[in-house]
């Protein structure tokens, strides 16, 4: 249990350094771009996946 506590402490310190260092805003912008990119890819995959499954049934 002590190992988990030390691990979480290290993660918290690293997150604090990034948060107070101003890197959080840049990371948030990158995360927004990636989120919308993956949403678009998901929709395209759904559309093409349905088209291929219909071709197999016909």
Higher pLDDT, 57 or 2: 2
Tell me the longest C-alpha to C-alpha distance in the chain. Answer: 60
* 8-state DSSP, 29: H
The pTM for the full model equals 0.49
pLDDT at residue number 15:
77
Please tell me the total number of residues recorded for the chain in this structure.
Answer: 58
CB 18 within 8 A of CB 24: yes
Mean pLDDT of 30-35: 87
pLDDT at residue number 58:
54
pLDDT at residue number 57:
60
d(CA 20, CA 40): 32
């Amino acid at each position: 249990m002590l190992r988990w506590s030390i691990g979480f402490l290290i993660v918290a310190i690293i997150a604090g350094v990034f948060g107070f260092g101003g890197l959080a805003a840049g990371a948030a912008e990158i995360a927004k771009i990636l989120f919308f990119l993956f949403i678009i890819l998901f929709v395209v995959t759904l559309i093409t996946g349905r088209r291929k499954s219909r071709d197999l049934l016909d």
